Structure 1
């Protein structure tokens, strides 16, 4: 990833392909082959005018696609192992080696949907954002911070034997609430970069285990 961050055109091309494929498959159950239309439209907006709204929409659709693919492919046990390993890696890469911070700064300047942008001011504009000046006007959450914990949510929905509560299984619902709790805590820690996955994955995993005891 660090190597790719030095080759902006390569990273952008890879991301554009991933975004197109993800958006296509997100809309495919509803629109079939016509899913290419919203995929092309959103991709064109992202390339031509990458403001924070378009970036967040693209990041959301990209996240949905990745979560779905991994969630239906991994049973809860390997999903939990994945969450634990990635949480540990995220903590090391942010607090010890700090290379994830450098990568996030590079991605921010590229204006790619690898981060969710949450403005802190009404006049926030993604155009012309530079360094710390921009960071004070918005909070950034990595796409991985949204994707990884929700893999367990989808996995629990697909594979666990938990009872249903309406349209969702208890294990999936509790895992989702666990992740949302972690996100609420994380969003209050504004001021310096933090490793998101430990705050998100730990309560997600804990909530899943609690659901298995009920």
Structure 2
């Protein structure tokens, strides 16, 4: 019963990210800020995947050669820029800067799990909205398909994504959702069990379940893209393609949690498949041609 409750909590994170992303999309759209100039270009997802590969390789290399303290600072700077961009869509420059500083100080000095979860929901919603506004549906689906394959390879074959997740836990950087297994759990004062993995020492956190922020961001991109790419049909709330994508992502998440059984799993193959199939079902229900 307890594990089922924790699954529902993680699912609620995904639901909250998608609802907030849809709610803030009009405000971010009004800023005319886009990641790509041409939302319909099929080269957009290829460029995005290339950036992910370069960024991941740089992080892994730096963790081995330089040390995690520099990686932690770089991630914190990247997060601060992202926070400022999202906040600045709603408030003027100086309040946005002060709000960003306050959030970063809180994350640095009090990185408790519920603080990181609240931050994760908001930052995932902002990033998803921005990327969803920057790409039309077809490029997004190409991106989701490529990332699903990449996630499977990086978790089951090369396993470097597991190394990155373990590094994020050690550095306490806000790149993961955290759901405790017990009431007395504290991420700030967590007990970590060291394990030996393939000639190196890794760390496995046994006091909580973890979900990468990317598992919430990536499928939500299609939800946002579908919401502005197709007419609403005169009904309140998301249109049928976006609603179908949302429901499909929830189904994919529940299937993922059913087979996970406490082992590291690649989330995007399940989440991306679910959101794409749900989107197509929504288009069929609305009588729309998806492409």
Instruction: Give me the TM-score of the superposition, normalised by structure 2.
Output: 0.68
TM-superposed deviation, 1:86: 0.3
Q: Which residue of 2 aligns with 1:155?
A: 225
Q: Which residue of 2 aligns with 1:77?
A: 138
* Structure 1 counterpart of 2:156, from 95, 109, 116: 95
Greater shift in the superposed pair: 95-104 or 5-14: 5-14
Report matched runs for 1:1-214 at 5 Å.
1=56, 2-6=60-64, 7-33=67-93, 34-129=95-190, 130-131=192-193, 135-161=205-231, 163-188=233-258, 189-214=260-285
Structure 1 unaligned runs (5+)? none
Could you tell me how far apart the structure 2 residues matched to 1:37 and 1:184 are? 39
Greater shift in the superposed pair: 27-36 or 192-201: 27-36
Could you tell me how far apart the structure 1 residues matched to 2:261 and 2:268 are? 16
TM-superposed deviation, 1:109: 0.7
- Asked if structure 2 preserves the Cα contact closer than 8 Å seen for 1:51 and 1:127, the reply is yes
Q: How large is the RMSD of aligned CA atoms in angstroms?
A: 1.9
Greater shift in the superposed pair: 77-86 or 30-39: 30-39
- Asked if structure 2 preserves the Cα contact closer than 8 Å seen for 1:145 and 1:196, the reply is yes
Over 3 Å counting, the alpha-carbon distance change for 1:184 and 1:48 in structure 2 is same
- Asked if structure 2 preserves the Cα contact closer than 8 Å seen for 1:178 and 1:203, the reply is yes
Which structure has the bigger radius of gyration?
2
Instruction: Give me the TM-score of the superposition, normalised by structure 1.
Output: 0.91
Question: C-alpha offsets along residues 108-166 of structure 1, whole Å, 9 cap, x if unaligned?
Answer: 11111111111121111112431479632211111111110001011111213463531
Could you tell me how far apart the structure 1 residues matched to 2:137 and 2:62 are? 31
- Asked if structure 2 preserves the Cα contact closer than 8 Å seen for 1:76 and 1:160, the reply is no
Could you tell me how far apart the structure 2 residues matched to 1:138 and 1:62 are? 21
Could you tell me how far apart the structure 1 residues matched to 2:234 and 2:73 are? 42
Over 3 Å counting, the alpha-carbon distance change for 1:44 and 1:27 in structure 2 is same
